[in-house]
Amino acid sequence: MKSFLQQALKRKKWQPCTKLTERCEFWVWEKDYLRPECCTDHLKELLFFTEELLTKHGIFHWLDFGSLLGAIRNEEMLLWDTDIDFGFLKADIEQVLALKQEIEIAGYYFDTSDKNVLRICYSPINTQHVDLFPWEEENEYLKSNWLKEKAEKFYFPSQFISELKPVILYDKSFPAPSPIDDFLSTYRYGIGYMTPQRFVLSSIPEIAPEEFTPIVEQLLDEIRERDYYIQQLENRIFIKRFWKWYNHSNSILARIIRTSYQSTKNR
């Protein structure tokens, strides 16, 4: 049976994503699909930029969540991870917010709409990003207000960041909570954190081979068609919002993109 990705490719040939295109939504392409090289390159670029930026300005920070897990497993991002994760102290949030102009001059987009997680995006269109989680100190614990339904992952003793230890990610050193094993096993992913597990977002249900019938196959084809249609509608809404921002925003990044686009047209 033809996959959703194969059907989508008939309509629009896939190309590596750039700052002027939307990110690759590889997590819905195929059950076992991994992050394409273009997305890895963009995330690595954001990773190195963010680390250098925070270090340059003396902002206390650490690698966290899936990015930390990837560093511990094989010194690379998890092959299906979609973003980069850093933590910092909420007491420093104004200092982080003040980096907006520097971030946009560098050609990225700083999304500060949710103060529970700040995001350095690859561009306003391509929303691959670094998540910056502000952690608030309270009674010798650190807590985050992001995703309160997953409170067990957003609450941990402050002793884990009292003495950060280096971890390696793509041959570069990053600060991390310590002891790392206790942190990951108790406050992040459980004792089996070294065993890869992945979650794939898709509206297509798991169907055992013995359950396939012509009717089931027809229903799955309809689901894929509707998935694609919904995705196209979402893309159109996003593109409309981008062009509104592109034509009317006076931000530094918008002016840079407009100038670059006009110079390309005039060549």
> Which CATH number goes with the domain that contains 76?
3.30.460.40
- The strand pairing partners of 175, in sequence order, are 166
User: Please, what's the b/e burial string for 169-190 (b: 16 or more CB within 10 A of its CB; e: otherwise)?
Assistant: beeeebbbbbebeebbeebbbe
DSSP 2: -
How many Cβ atoms sit within 10 Å of the Cβ of residue 103?
20
The whole-angstrom separation of Cα 76 and Cα 83 is 13
Range of the domain at 1: 1-267
Q: For the chain, what is the domain count? A: 1
Alpha-carbon distance 103 to 50, whole Å?
Answer: 9
Non-local (6+) Cβ contacts of 37 within 8 A are: 16
As a 3-state breakdown, the chain gives helix, strand, coil percent values, each rounded to 5, of 45, 15, 35
E strand or H helix that includes residue 167:
strand 165-169
Going residue by residue through the chain, which has 267 residues, state the pLDDT in tens, using 9 for 90 and above.
344 444 444 334 568 899 999 898 876 665 567 888 999 999 999 999 999 999 999 999 999 999 999 999 999 999 888 999 999 999 999 999 999 999 999 999 999 999 999 999 999 999 999 999 999 998 899 998 876 545 555 789 999 999 999 999 999 999 999 999 999 999 988 888 888 766 545 555 555 555 556 666 676 667 666 666 666 665 666 666 666 666 666 666 666 666 665 655 555
Closest CA to 238 of 126, 74, 86: 126
pTM, two decimal places: 0.70
d(CA 251, CA 264): 20
